[in-house]
Each structure stands twice: as C-alpha cells, then as structure tokens.
Structure 1
C-alpha cells in the first residue's frame, strides 16, 4: 500500500506553538474522533509520522509534537533532558488541547520510553491511556544495541562529538539501521538533517542521549507497567533493525503476558517510513479488535 507523503516544507506550515515551562513547543493536530497521540523517536521529530498522518486523521483525532530538544521545538543548552519531563510535556499538550478522555498512543524509539512512562502513570492514576502500540525501540534496555554515535555521545567527550556532528555523520549512522531495500533517499536525509540542525540542535544532541541510562534506571517500573495487563498493547517490529529488531521482539514475547506482536521482515528501525502501508494495516487491525494475540503476525 503506497501512502502519500507530506513534504517537510508543507508539514512545517501546519504546525502550531504552545509554551511548556517557558519553552516553545511545535505541535500538530488533525482529524476527529478518539484522540491518538503520536510520539516520535531520536534524533528526529514528529514529521516521521507524515506517511500515516492523513489516513489516520480520517479515523482519529491526531496529536503530535516535536519534543523538547527535537525538530522545530526549543533546544535550550542549559537544560537537563529526561524522558520523565517529555511525558510531562505530552500531558501538558493534552491539557492545552483540553483532551480529557483516555488517549491511544502510537510511539517509536525514544517515544517508546515516553509511552512507557505514561503507562506507568496510568497505573499510578496520573494519566489515562486507552491503548498503546510500540514501534522499534529499546523497551528492554538489556536487549538494546546502541549504534556507535550514541555511545560516543554518552562519553565524556559527547559534547564535542555533538558539536562536530554533520549531515555526513547522520548518513553514515542512520542508513545502517534501515532495511536493505528501504533506505532513505538523499532528499529525506536532507530533511532529517534540517530537523536535527534546527535551532542549533547539535549543541544539545549529547544531552538527549541521557535517555539510555534513564531507561536502565526506570526499567522495573516501565516493564512492570507493560506487564500489568489492563491496557491493550501491540509491538510492531521491523525485524531487520540491528538496534531493536527481532532480538527485542523475542524479549517482548518472553516478558509480556499474552503478547500481541507483528514482525515486519526486511524492515529496519523506522517501520512507519520504510513500510507505512503495513504499519497502517496492522495498527488499524489492532484498533478494530483491541485484544491481544498469542502469536506473531508476519508480513
């Protein structure tokens, strides 16, 4: 299934801004119906959802933002970035939009961790989550395999690595985690770099990777929330991904009761841009039934 893309230049014109703790946050909304919160990954932005945006907006009320430090949102230099704060941001955006009913969540990568934090808050009666679908991400830190640039950014010289990070570095590292037949075009790479570089993003990119040790610190609480069982979950996994591919899905099957999983063969770390038609089909099927599977659906 081929889905129409939204060019980044058009996407940017459709965004709005709200203040979160004194910082400008860019966000997008579309459609009507039950609220669906889309949470992007590292190091990109909410434009990652552009293939799915229009077909999902025909069914749901979509909400997405560039999180603090990402995309076209503020990127303060003297700031401690955390997943916990990004979950605060998502809840602040929902409050800004006066969304009071439980929200469905579709998340990827870094956004998976934000979704896990929201799930934990749901079980603590501090959030209301109707369902959650994860795409590739480090749900279980013991199975996450970070790429070299993430390790370098976490090192004591991470600030220097970040400031010297270029489009060529992005191409070198990001193309390794795509499927062999679904690698991004030069135009897409230009757009991804534009979002990373906006608002002098390379000055703070080393601070954003603090989510990796945060995942370890929060593992028990976050995995426990997934195991609770009262929120319907699905994991749609690009199996070819060397960072969080089939090995992450195997761990999901080991730890999550009545696991509902989808394995996309030949697809890498970005299923929603590499195989958006397949992701859309499996997401809509999940929403139609909202009941966990006991086997892997393959595509």
Structure 2
C-alpha cells in the first residue's frame, strides 16, 4: 500500500506544541542500566507506545509529537546509553544489541506484556533487533505493531553524510573530539528539507544534548552501528520480512540519507508494503511535520484496532 500525504506546511494536529527542553528534562526519571543512569519519559494512558530515537540526537526529537500521542497512548521513551541526558561512558562498547537489551529490560521491568514501537533512524535498527528476538521466542513481551520513520532499514541503500563517514573512519576519534558547533550545524541542517530547516533555538537544543556530559567524545564509538547494520543485515531485514504484526514506513522523501531510495527498497523487499510518503519532509519527519506524522500514525493504529 502506497500513500502520499499532501504537503501540510503549517498545519498542526490537536494537542501540538513545543515543550521547553529544560521542562522535558525536569519531567523525566532516571533508572540504572548496568550501573549507568538512563533518562526516561512517560505520559498518557492507554495502550503502551514506545518511541525509539535516532543518532546523534535523543528522545527530545519526539517532543512535538509527544502531546498528540499521549492523548491516546501510554507513551514511553528514553535516551539510549550514550545519548541525550543519559550517561555517556567514554570507553563503552556501544552496540545496537546492547541498546535492545536496554529497551527489553526496561519494558519488562515496567511489567508491560504488549507494546507498539515507533522508531526513527538508529532506533529503527534497535526495533529490528527486538522484532528478531520476538520471532525467536526470546522476548518476554509481545510487539503489537511497528511504525518506522526514516532510517537505514536496508544498509545497501543508506547514503551517509560525509561527517558520518569521517566519524566511522580511523580518524573518527579525532573528528569526534574536534567537532565544532559550525560543522555540526552545517551537516545536521542538510538532513532537513530546504523548506523546513531547524531554527536557531532548535539547533541550540540539539547541540546541547549532543555535547551534554562530554557527548562529543564518543560519537565515533556510537557510529559503529553503520558496521553493525552490514554485519546483521540478513537478520534485521529478515525480521521485517518475517514479521506477523502490522508494519508501516512513514518516509520523509526529501531526506538525502535514508529517504526516497530507502522507501523504494522497502517496497521491493517487503510483502504488501505499507508506505506513507511525506512530500517536502526530510530526515526528521516527527520534528519537521509532526501533524502529518501524527495523522499517519493514528490512521495506522485505527486500521489494526
């Protein structure tokens, strides 16, 4: 199934609003994972919906969508280890599998028996790993349905930015430590649609979260996920192809990294693919056009309930 959402520039869904970053942090709670502090947020009531953020940002990415989703769901999210307000140990062996362990333990610890997943970018790989575990009978809870936003679901069509390639190179450690605000802004803004660039205060928030607690010093360790995606390609693509629960891809087609080409590959490899294409939207659909994303999610949810 292919849908193209009309360009809804300026439209806002009910409950839309921007939450102050300081308030976002104040409303959070921390828990321990392997002795490290993990930042989490929960709100709303209803069927549990877990939000998984991308690289190199944090759960804050979801703040514009958060109040909309919380009208109908118990919404849960966290900053993965090495991201946002969570701890960022400098010598840690970061991996998608470890982040999946983090989510699995957290969801299980909350006593949830069934959850839906809404995943973006790096978080999409974590969701694929969780799907694979459920198919192997290893998850102590059931995944009801999964909605993906722009991410490298298929590494063969992923087109990383130059800064990502450099961070993944032997010079990655130096590049990470030497990353400047100007370089970050130039690279990060390229991910957005030209018609929806992040404003200065948005860039302030993203940079703050990135550099919080010496975050710059570990970017080259976090970006190991690009190699993991290649190594686990068959497992994680197989998890999509073998999924029995409903899946939907919401694709910002103006994304230069994992936009139109990723959506085409999804349609090629997934049986009866459910794809919603967002015109004039880049890599961060939930930030650039939260109203469109909310409507696409809500439609998907209603179809299967």
TM, length-normalised to structure 1:
0.95
The C-alpha deviation readout for 1:76-122, integer Å capped at 9, x for no partner, is 011100000000001111123222x2210000000000000011011
Match of 1:52 among 54, 65, 73: 65
1 CA distance for matches of 2:33 and 2:96?
A: 15
1 CA distance for matches of 2:138 and 2:40?
A: 23
Match of 1:19 among 32, 50, 54: 32
Aligned-pair Cα RMSD in Å: 0.9
Do structure 1's residue 272 and structure 2's residue 286 form an aligned pair? yes
Q: Secondary structure at the match of 1:162?
A: helix
2 CA distance for matches of 1:159 and 1:4?
A: 37
1 CA distance for matches of 2:304 and 2:227?
A: 32
Q: How much has 1:219 moved relative to structure 2?
A: 0.7
Could you tell which deviates more after superposition, 179-188 or 122-131? Answer: 122-131
Match of 1:98 among 94, 107, 111: 111
Structure number having the greater helix percentage: 1
2 CA distance for matches of 1:55 and 1:258?
A: 28
Find the counterpart in structure 1 of residue 127 from structure 2. Answer: 115
| Structural mapping, 1:58-73, within 5 Å | 58-73=71-86
Match of 2:227 among 196, 210, 213: 213
Find the counterpart in structure 1 of residue 46 from structure 2. Answer: 33
| Structural mapping, 1:127-276, within 5 Å | 127=139, 128-276=142-290
Do structure 1's residue 81 and structure 2's residue 94 form an aligned pair? yes
Work out whether residues 49 and 272 of structure 1, in 8 Å CA contact, stay in contact via their aligned partners in 2.
yes
Q: Secondary structure at the match of 2:214?
A: helix
Q: How much has 1:53 moved relative to structure 2?
A: 0.7
Do structure 1's residue 126 and structure 2's residue 138 form an aligned pair? yes
2 CA distance for matches of 1:290 and 1:39?
A: 21
Q: How much has 1:290 moved relative to structure 2?
A: 2.6
Q: Secondary structure at the match of 2:212?
A: helix
The C-alpha deviation readout for 1:17-57, integer Å capped at 9, x for no partner, is 00001100000000111110000000000010001111111
2 CA distance for matches of 1:259 and 1:195?
A: 35
Q: Secondary structure at the match of 1:77?
A: coil
Work out whether residues 240 and 266 of structure 1, in 8 Å CA contact, stay in contact via their aligned partners in 2.
yes
Tell me which of the two structures has the higher relative contact order, counting C-alpha pairs closer than 8 angstroms and 6 or more residues apart.
Answer: 2
2 CA distance for matches of 1:120 and 1:107?
A: 15
- Can you give the 5+ residue segments of structure 1 that lack an aligned partner in the other structure? 292-299
Work out whether residues 229 and 257 of structure 1, in 8 Å CA contact, stay in contact via their aligned partners in 2.
no
The C-alpha deviation readout for 1:193-234, integer Å capped at 9, x for no partner, is 000001100111110000001001111011111011411100
1 CA distance for matches of 2:269 and 2:30?
A: 39
Work out whether residues 131 and 243 of structure 2, in 8 Å CA contact, stay in contact via their aligned partners in 1.
no
TM, length-normalised to structure 2:
0.94
